[in-house]
Structure 1
Amino acid sequence: MSDPRRRQQTQPGPEQQALLDALAAENAAVYAYGIVGAFSNPDRGDMIAAASAAHRARRDATIDALSAASIVAPEPPAGYTVPFPVTDPTTAVQLAVQAESDTAVAWRSVIERSQSDHTRGTGIDALTETALRLADWRTILGTTPPTVPFPGAPQK
């Protein structure tokens, strides 16, 4: 007997694969912001909560978009390995920069690989949001300039 809740899954095309990659980046960002919150200065709590909520909302919307395309979104891993030890407020901000940089790369890829105006627009909105958060975190670190010319593009 088959489970009526399971739908036939389609093979992802380039656009759906880009969304799956963006979903993976969003899941990692949600996890990273948990660590960022644990080690950050308390006065950054609202900023961290807003960023985390934005990534959760983007994750949920991406799952919905994949579901509409008959693609089953994979469950996120139980945990992630962070790229460096996070032990204080400075390394916490560096992790936030890394999370935003990674999501920028993923959403730029969605824009490049999208085949529909709707998905392209979603990618542009997501890339814009993550680029703004990235600039905020880079400002806190004192990085000059706080913005990059093409967010999500390979840096030279």
Structure 2
Amino acid sequence: MTELSDEAAIALRSAVSAEQAALWVYGLATAFAGYDRVLTAISDAEKQHRRLRDAAERVIRDAGQTPPPAQPAYDVGEPVRDRRSAIALLIRAENDCQVGWRSVLENSQDPTLRVTALDGLTTAATRATRWRLTIGQQPAAQHFPGQP
């Protein structure tokens, strides 16, 4: 059985929730993708979000806890009407994942969990940068990814 401090468990549950929301948002964005390369990028991102979500849920279960359930829908804030607004939503989802994984890094001492959190933080930051470049948003790269 894995031991999680209260702080690490809260942070990990938050990261799982962000990953679940990102998966939902990526599903929505598929309807607005338009180009094959955008659909491919969405598909690749979904695979990575699933992988990270599943890894985090395993750690939570191994600690004898229950992972948070996915919601049937998520608040997207502004209406998604086209490819640009869909990609803006993807950027927001990636930012939320960065915040979740950074919190895991800051609240866990477990080396394996920290490797997963660093992977989650860096892949989300990289994807957010690529999405910003896709829609011409500057600056494309953010300083200090995951900073709330």
**1:63 aligns with one of 43, 57, 60:** 57
Is 1:121 matched up with 2:115?
A: yes
Contact 2:5 2:108 in 1 (8 A): no
Stretches of structure 2 that go unaligned for 5 or more consecutive residues are: none
**C-alpha separation between the residues in 2 aligned to 1:11 and 1:51?**
28
> 1:144, CA displacement in angstroms?
2.2
Question: What SS does the aligned partner of 1:52 have?
Answer: helix
**1:92 aligns with one of 86, 89, 92:** 86
**2:47 aligns with one of 53, 59, 82:** 53
Q: Which residue of 1 aligns with 2:10?
A: 17
**C-alpha separation between the residues in 2 aligned to 1:34 and 1:12?**
33
Aligned-residue CA RMSD in angstroms? 1.5
Return closer, same or farther for 1:78/1:12 CA change in 2, 3 Å cut-off: farther
Provide, for residues 11-65 of structure 1, a one-character-per-residue CA deviation record: whole Å limited to 9, x for no partner: 9611111110000000000000011111122321100100111111111111111
Contact 1:33 1:52 in 2 (8 A): yes
**C-alpha separation between the residues in 1 aligned to 2:33 and 2:116?**
30
How many percent of aligned residue pairs carry the same amino acid? 37
Is 1:36 matched up with 2:36?
A: no
**C-alpha separation between the residues in 2 aligned to 1:36 and 1:109?**
26
Contact 1:12 1:71 in 2 (8 A): no
> 1:115, CA displacement in angstroms?
2.3
> 1:74, CA displacement in angstroms?
2.4
**C-alpha separation between the residues in 2 aligned to 1:11 and 1:74?**
15
**C-alpha separation between the residues in 1 aligned to 2:71 and 2:39?**
25
Larger deviation, residues 75-84 vs 14-23: 75-84
TM-score normalised per structure 1: 0.88
Stretches of structure 1 that go unaligned for 5 or more consecutive residues are: 1-9
Amino acid in the other structure paired with 2:131: W
**C-alpha separation between the residues in 2 aligned to 1:64 and 1:119?**
11
Amino acid in the other structure paired with 2:35: P
Question: What SS does the aligned partner of 1:39 have?
Answer: coil
Figure out how many residues of one structure are paired with residues of the other and give that number. 145
